Structure 1
Amino acid sequence: MDADASSSVPSNPAFTPSPSPTSSSPFHNFGTTTSTSTAAPTSSPFSPPSSILIIGSGVFGLSTAYALARRDVFSNTTITVVDRASSPSPSSTPVFPARDASSIDSSRIIRGDYADPAYAALATEALRQWRNNDSPGSLGAEGRYNECGLVLVADAEPQALSALANPSSSSTTPNSGASLLEQHNAKKTGIDYVRASWENAVALSAQDAELASRIRLLPDPAAIRDAVGTGGTSGTTGYINGYAGWADADRSMAWLYSRVAATDRVSFVQGTVSALVHTDDAVTGATLASGQTLSADLVILAAGAWTPSLLDLSGQATATGQAVAYLPLTDEEQASLSGMPVLLNLTTGLFIIPPSNNTLKVARHAYGYLNPSSSTTSRNPVSLPRTNLTTPSALSLPPEATSSLRSALREMLPSHTELHDRPFSQERLCWYTDTPTGDFIISYHPRYGRSLFVATGGSGHGFKFLPVLGDKIVDAVEGRTPEEFVDKWAWKETGEGSERAVVVVTEDGSRGGVPGLVLDEEMARMG
């Protein structure tokens, strides 16, 4: 997802969310929780630890390792990364991260378009580095980043269309999407997100002539159809930002791993972390499934959707599975679609990315599926990933997901009728670590002082920050979290017992579909 914008925004149309299905599962008991931010320990000046253990080698963990390895202040610190990794064969070198990590895929949307001005600015900073392809060693070179533009749309009522096209009718200021965020403290809709994102993009374009020349409002389906260029459309209004595209996530992570390895400062350990080692007030390391214990002065927990299996994140974050499918294409079919932009509908969550390697990806950025599992970290069931590596039978999607993705193909690529019912070459769930607001968790754990730092909660939009995320995390480790993110990334204390939310639902306006779907229940509908 991504966006641009300017001017002011009037109040939004009423929104009635789809009811969640009735079920006996505890995951249908949507609780509410009151949370308060807890600042990182700052009572004493930061002193670099003698050893750091990073759990997880996805985009959060690996970018953190890279940032640590390049900072002089940590020159005497031993840095270790532990993750499950993958080994193609018993004799081969482990590949970090594991192939079922959310950071691993054929593509990820790279955008600067955000409803929140702080994320919009940070994503734009990251985008500048993605666009750097000056040399083969640059992040964006060798096909790792592909700039095709983004069409960001949503479904809106007629009054919302008028509001987006004529934002000056509001008394709010045109400096950013902050006014919209202040107006909506509860649930936001896709059109809310698109509108605020448009405001932020236009505000940023005031200082960037290239960006200003590449954003354009799409006020109706005809304009959207023209911008997409496939004869298809989606949504009723939105905009196009040519200053966006997609990254080959797998190759980008391989690039990052090679950069980390080249520092010769980071040790990698292949293993599954089964538990944190801790006392009442300090974390001292981690125990592996093999029985081995890794010790460190500071543990950075960056295990993505597996984080709730190691730390109680009730009310703060949960793992949700998002539907992804891949469609094989002929050379001719790929050529005919190669000029299209990314198309993302924030009301339905459905999106397609231009094809590569004769494969078209269609997916859904939604509330996702829950996989309730027992856990030693929480009294309530915890949603944890189920992937084709952890559960070999997890190779197909629930029927409602398949139907939804097929509808996207018909709507977005109507003239390519041969693709509408073609069997997918692969189906899978991509596991997000969702937070209620879509904000990351980048903070020390208040109970354990400076011995446990949590870096997770990517909420389906963390990958694009690969070039800048590690430095921001290490800034926070040093007690220098950027001011605009201090509250957003802080550890949130939640109520105890029955007051704790059983389910975390991301309500930042970027999600489509129905919240609270349980994976096993939906898979059972396969008949």
Structure 2
Amino acid sequence: MSHPHAPFRPPNSILIIGSGVFGLSTALYLTEQREFAKTSITILDRSPEPGVFPARDASSIDSSRIIRADYADPAYARLAAEAAHHWRKQEPHELGGEGRYTESGLFLVANKDGTPGLGYTQKSWINAMALANAEGGRGPKSVRVGYHAGQLRAMTAAGGTFGDWGYLNDASGWADATKSMRWLYEKVVATGRVRFINGTAERLDVKKPIFALPGVLDNKPRVSGAILEDGTKLSADLTIVATGAWTPSLLDLQGQAVATGQIVAYLDITEEEQARLNDIPVLLNFSTGYFIIPPRDRVLKIARHSYGYLNPTEVPTPLGMADKSAATTLDQITKSSTSTTTKSTDSASAKAPSTPTGTASGTVKVSKPRTHLTHPPVTPTTSSLPPEAEAGLRAALKKFLPWMADTETRPFSETRLCWYTDTPSGDWIIDYHPSYSGLFVATGGSGHAFKFLPILGAKVVSCLKGQYPAEFADKWRWRGVQGLGDGDAERTIITEDGSRGGVPGQILADELSRAPAVAPEEGDKAAS
């Protein structure tokens, strides 16, 4: 890890940029630690509405998120089990209370078609069994395996075809993400310790050292806060960048992280359909990425956990990125990537990607979130999804819930893109920046950080103090930016943790411009 060489001393002031799950949970834990009692804490968020933190288009603001300890990596499985203990607390003042958490169970399946999802699912089952058998676990009967499609179909009331192998874990479920984030925000506000500011950071404020003596004084540039779009300066001894999918627009993360858009849709259902689906578990196929959350209030959510869409957008050159007029642009990278999508996505052989590169004008192209706030829909029901995405969702609905009428034509009541901050391994980035003093980074959630809400802040602050969890010291470290050289144009960041479905390297604008797609036949991998 890139921690300071000197012993940790609490700063007089901390600026946290971003009030998503990383930012808010970190702020709350800071207020609970005696050593930070004299530290002033400020949170800056791009939310345009006073009193609304985070912004309504933040990735953590949604009707639901899966809460699971079902990981192929035993370290994350144990960490998620620790977080689940807090989600299960059901008193009104506790995290899981007032409907914020529902332990519906999770039906995790995969296909025997050579995709990485099967290996991930089988390793998750091994870890789920270990947790079930551990002291305080629920015992092996809480995790039940299905060895073929027919057996899987009989394990839930959903009635569909889900995959070729999988298991049902009673100890997992889902959370109302919006309500949970509101609970967290109110907890932070109640401390009276944190100042909230609405505004967008245009860039980080950097001070170069006047002089430096090697080995005596720090000769690195120092980040002293942020400069907002309106010119306002916010100063702090320590700046924590926790801006989620917006981070690559602010800080050079070439080769480390990229913003990807994931498809989500909501379908109004009848009272009879709601009654039939009341007791189903979360349904998730790790080969295709499609999943369904048990409906509440007659609204069914279906989404896809995949490689996602890239949205190359011109932004001011992020901190730490040299202005390289001859460098390959993200447009070139992604065009090359999408021209090779017929290659196997079992990417042990795929090259890990890199994102933005410079242009002569002092701007670069990075993948940047496109949301209902940045690009408001014409009407509330106007689809924000590419045709292939909508066709894929409808095909998955037909497969998961074959008895439900008109799923091929029933209008979605809402669609959106949920923006991940993807890293090549799916590990987070929680570390000091090695090239700038006063700068700490907490990002790279890769679509699976939300479930750690009750303990994430504690882990971030531990890293901040140089006390890195042994199992995660290497996983969460700053890995250094990777520039692009000749012949590297097809490199793009692809999360290779084995849990993703779909086609990597798709460009959002290109897919939005295509003609409406025909819903694929069952098992058509092109739509998964």
TM-score normalised over the length of structure 2: 0.84
> Following the alignment from structure 1 to structure 2, what is the Cα–Cα distance between the partners of residues 241 and 495?
39
> Following the alignment from structure 2 to structure 1, what is the Cα–Cα distance between the partners of residues 156 and 22?
32
Contact 2:262 2:417 in 1 (8 A): yes
1:335 to partner: Cα distance: 1.6
Map of 2:67 onto structure 1: 110
Map of 1:525 onto structure 2: 514
Q: Say yes or no: does 1:383 pair with 2:345.
A: no
1:213 to partner: Cα distance: 2.6
Map of 1:469 onto structure 2: 456
Q: Say yes or no: does 1:144 pair with 2:132.
A: no
Map of 2:345 onto structure 1: none
Q: Say yes or no: does 1:235 pair with 2:163.
A: yes
Query: Which of 121, 128, 148 is the equivalent residue of 1:194?
Result: 121
Describe how 1:23-34 pairs up with structure 2 within 5 A: none
> Following the alignment from structure 2 to structure 1, what is the Cα–Cα distance between the partners of residues 231 and 275?
52
1:395 to partner: Cα distance: 4.6
Contact 1:54 1:302 in 2 (8 A): yes
Map of 1:131 onto structure 2: 88
Q: Secondary structure at the match of 2:171?
A: coil
Map of 2:313 onto structure 1: 373
Map of 2:500 onto structure 1: 511
Map of 2:131 onto structure 1: 204
Describe how 1:57-456 pairs up with structure 2 within 5 A: 57-87=19-49, 93-133=50-90, 135-157=91-113, 189-207=116-134, 208-280=136-208, 281-375=221-315, 376-377=317-318, 378-379=357-358, 381-393=365-377, 395-449=383-437, 451-456=438-443
Per-residue CA deviation, residues 91-147 of structure 1 (Å, 9 max, x unaligned), is xx43100010000000000001100011000000001110111x2101001000011
Tell me the amino acid that sits aligned with residue 70 of structure 1. E
Over 3 Å counting, the alpha-carbon distance change for 1:397 and 1:495 in structure 2 is: closer
1:86 to partner: Cα distance: 4.2
* Higher normalized contact order (CA 8 Å, seq sep 6+, divided by chain length): 1
Tell me the amino acid that sits aligned with residue 70 of structure 2. D
Q: Secondary structure at the match of 1:406?
A: helix
Q: Secondary structure at the match of 2:479?
A: strand
Contact 1:126 1:467 in 2 (8 A): yes
Map of 1:54 onto structure 2: 16
> Following the alignment from structure 2 to structure 1, what is the Cα–Cα distance between the partners of residues 106 and 17?
34
Contact 1:50 1:78 in 2 (8 A): yes
Contact 2:202 2:227 in 1 (8 A): yes
Structure 1, unmatched stretches of 5+, are 1-38, 88-92, 161-187
1:392 to partner: Cα distance: 1.4
> Following the alignment from structure 2 to structure 1, what is the Cα–Cα distance between the partners of residues 462 and 441?
13
Per-residue CA deviation, residues 153-183 of structure 1 (Å, 9 max, x unaligned), is 11015xx8xxxxxxxxxxxxxxxxxxxxxxx
1:428 to partner: Cα distance: 0.7
Q: Secondary structure at the match of 2:95?
A: coil
Q: Secondary structure at the match of 1:433?
A: strand
Query: Larger helix proportion, structure 1 or 2?
Result: 1
> Following the alignment from structure 1 to structure 2, what is the Cα–Cα distance between the partners of residues 325 and 249?
16
Per-residue CA deviation, residues 240-268 of structure 1 (Å, 9 max, x unaligned), is 10101100000000000000001111000
Contact 2:254 2:483 in 1 (8 A): no
> Following the alignment from structure 1 to structure 2, what is the Cα–Cα distance between the partners of residues 206 and 243?
12
> Following the alignment from structure 1 to structure 2, what is the Cα–Cα distance between the partners of residues 274 and 319?
18
Contact 2:247 2:443 in 1 (8 A): yes
Structure 2, unmatched stretches of 5+, are 209-220, 319-356, 359-363, 517-528
Map of 1:33 onto structure 2: none
- Count of residue pairs the alignment pairs up: 453
Q: Secondary structure at the match of 2:85?
A: helix
Contact 2:116 2:499 in 1 (8 A): yes
Q: Secondary structure at the match of 1:287?
A: strand
Per-residue CA deviation, residues 182-205 of structure 1 (Å, 9 max, x unaligned), is xxxxxx810110111111111222
> Following the alignment from structure 2 to structure 1, what is the Cα–Cα distance between the partners of residues 178 and 32?
23
1:314 to partner: Cα distance: 0.6
> Following the alignment from structure 2 to structure 1, what is the Cα–Cα distance between the partners of residues 254 and 156?
41
Tell me the amino acid that sits aligned with residue 79 of structure 1. I
Identity of aligned pairs, percent? 56
Tell me the amino acid that sits aligned with residue 520 of structure 1. A
Map of 1:485 onto structure 2: 472
Tell me the amino acid that sits aligned with residue 47 of structure 2. A
